[in-house]
Amino acid sequence: MAAGALPVPVPVPVPVLVLILVLSAAGEPEQPRHVDGSPPSKIAIVGAGIGGSATAHFLRQHFGPEVQIDVYEKGEVGGRLATVTVNHQDYESGGSIIHSLNLHMQEFVKMLGLKYRRGVAGKTAVFNSDEMILEETDWYLLDLFRLWWRYGISFIRLQMWVEEIMEKFMRIYKYQAHGYAFSSVEELLDSLGGSGFINMTRRALSDSLLELGVSQRFIDEVIAPVMRVNYGQNVSIPAFVGAVSLAGAQNNLWAVEGGNKLVCSGLLKMANANLLRAQVGSVSSVRSGDVQQYQLSFATAAGSASELYDIVVLATPLQDSVGSGVRFQGFSPASGPQEGSYHSTVATVVHGYLNTSFFGFPDPRLFPFASVLTMDSPDLFFNSVSSVCPVNISVGFRRKQPQEAGVYKVFSPKPLDKSQLKILFRSYYSVQVTEWQAYPSYSSSQRLPPVELHPNLYYLNGVEWAASAMEMSAVAAKNIALLAYHRWSRQTDMVDQKDLMHKIKTEL
């Protein structure tokens, strides 16, 4: 997530193989060359979510220790990685899990000395508003047999499709390890999967799967529930973001002990970045001869001020629906809000007793599921409900049984009213609601936003319109750091190169 972001994938009983390899190039930071051979003096990043904090880290790697890096954040560090407190325990209310092979995130955790949160097993089911139509068991082979019996070889075709896409996508980490960058999301996607990847951002997921021979029943009963919980949207979303969503829908997931947002604060500290609690109101173009700089005007609790920067990275959505508040002044051609809107998702954390009778289990002791996903039905007012664990899990911790008071997270398109809460819960002690502009409202007709808005002015969150996830934001952060470095150093041979796999092989 994004951006980091949500989404919040939930393990589902679909055997999808994911191949994501990440190669992180650290090494000694090189000193860039500019017109006069000097590095930039000051760099600004607007937004301290996973994208902004990772950008600060990677910029420090490439530009060295002397550059001043200022990070502006109007809210809380972590952005869409956030927690809420229930009964003296903290729970994830935003981006909750990370795939075990998202190695950018793994590397961050390792560098920062953070710990992996212990997983607590739990089964998943799919509900169609009348009954559970798909139930995970404790036996993997039985789950496979049930999938085959109900859907034929659809799940095998899906597995092969996702595997092929992820195998191509893994190239980005090799490219970044060798220092290559891309000036647009399209260039990045083209380098990985050619026109096929770009076309996947313009074609509905359902159309792509039907063409593969995946059955409509499988799409309705398995794929649609995964899209609803991960992105709050249906199978008309673009095929590329759908594939990323399906890649994360499995059991091999993890999280950070103490909360995923600790990665963001840790990266800022490691980057020796200055955190400014401020609302950026405008970015103004300031040109003196051949020198292009940007003036950021901002407001803090102490009043208004402005600062001049050589490089600016906007790591916050610029769509009107999000209300970033950032205006652009003095640009030719003019800059402004980006096209599109963000999708509203409501995360409701409830401490109470789940009403298992609603799902067809009058006796809660017989309800075996930790997570319930839902089909796309007009009778259902929620996308998923899951028993959740605190961000700090003790050695003796066990997941609450349905007959006990537990903590549940419900995803829904709108806030739940009291009557809806009474449908889902027999009774409850507390309810905490977080409304997120969580991820883009995806459309196959939506253009991908630019990465370079103007020379040395970059936009990170455009990558979300290809796919929104924490690792995608980390990938975008690394790309922008490399791109900014190469643009400043005038190393054009490291940007938008073609046939990179062949180049890398010859370099080796």
- 60 has pLDDT over 70: yes
- 36 has pLDDT over 80: no
Structure-block tokens of residue 337: 């809000």
Bridge partners (DSSP) of residue 125 are 135, 372
What local confidence, expressed as pLDDT, does residue 48 receive?
96
What local confidence, expressed as pLDDT, does residue 377 receive?
92
Residue 156 burial (CB < 10 Å; 0-12/13-18/19+)?
A: middle
- 3 has pLDDT over 50: no
User: For the chain, what percent of residues have pLDDT higher than 70?
Assistant: 91
Identify the CA nearest to 335 among candidates 255, 417, 422, 450: 450
Q: Count helices and strands (H / E) in the chain.
A: 14, 21
Banded model confidence at residue 86, pLDDT cuts 50, 70, 90: very high
DSSP letters spanning 274-318: EEEE-EEEEEEEEEETTEEEEEEEEEETTEEEEEEESEEEE-S--
CB 504 within 8 A of CB 175: yes
Identify the CA nearest to 337 among candidates 313, 310, 316: 316
Banded model confidence at residue 1, pLDDT cuts 50, 70, 90: very low
What local confidence, expressed as pLDDT, does residue 24 receive?
34
What local confidence, expressed as pLDDT, does residue 170 receive?
87
Q: Which residues contact 484 (CB under 8 A, 6 or more apart)?
A: 43, 59, 62, 311, 313, 456, 458
Q: Which of 23-32, 306-315, 337-346 is predicted least confidently?
A: 23-32
Banded model confidence at residue 334, pLDDT cuts 50, 70, 90: confident
What local confidence, expressed as pLDDT, does residue 269 receive?
97
pTM of the model: 0.89
Banded model confidence at residue 204, pLDDT cuts 50, 70, 90: very high
CB 7 within 8 A of CB 230: yes
Q: Is the peptide bond before 13 cis (omega within 30 degrees of 0)?
A: no
What local confidence, expressed as pLDDT, does residue 394 receive?
80
DSSP character at residue 256 = B
- Residue 349 gets the label, from left (phi > 0), alpha (psi -120 to 50) or beta, of beta
Residue 14 burial (CB < 10 Å; 0-12/13-18/19+)?
A: buried
| Higher-confidence position of 397 and 205 | 205
Structure-block tokens of residue 471: 């690792």
What local confidence, expressed as pLDDT, does residue 117 receive?
84
Banded model confidence at residue 39, pLDDT cuts 50, 70, 90: confident
Identify the CA nearest to 81 among candidates 69, 70, 90, 68: 90
- 213 has pLDDT over 80: yes
Encode pLDDT of 403-461 as tens digits: 999 999 999 999 999 999 999 999 999 999 999 888 999 988 888 999 999 999 999 99
- 23 has pLDDT over 60: no
User: Which range is most confident: 20-29, 119-128, 313-322, 363-372?
Assistant: 363-372
What local confidence, expressed as pLDDT, does residue 118 receive?
74
What local confidence, expressed as pLDDT, does residue 508 receive?
57
User: For the chain, what percent of residues have pLDDT higher than 90?
Assistant: 72
Banded model confidence at residue 319, pLDDT cuts 50, 70, 90: confident
Using CA atoms, how far residue 149 sits from 143, 146, 154, in Å, is 10, 5, 11
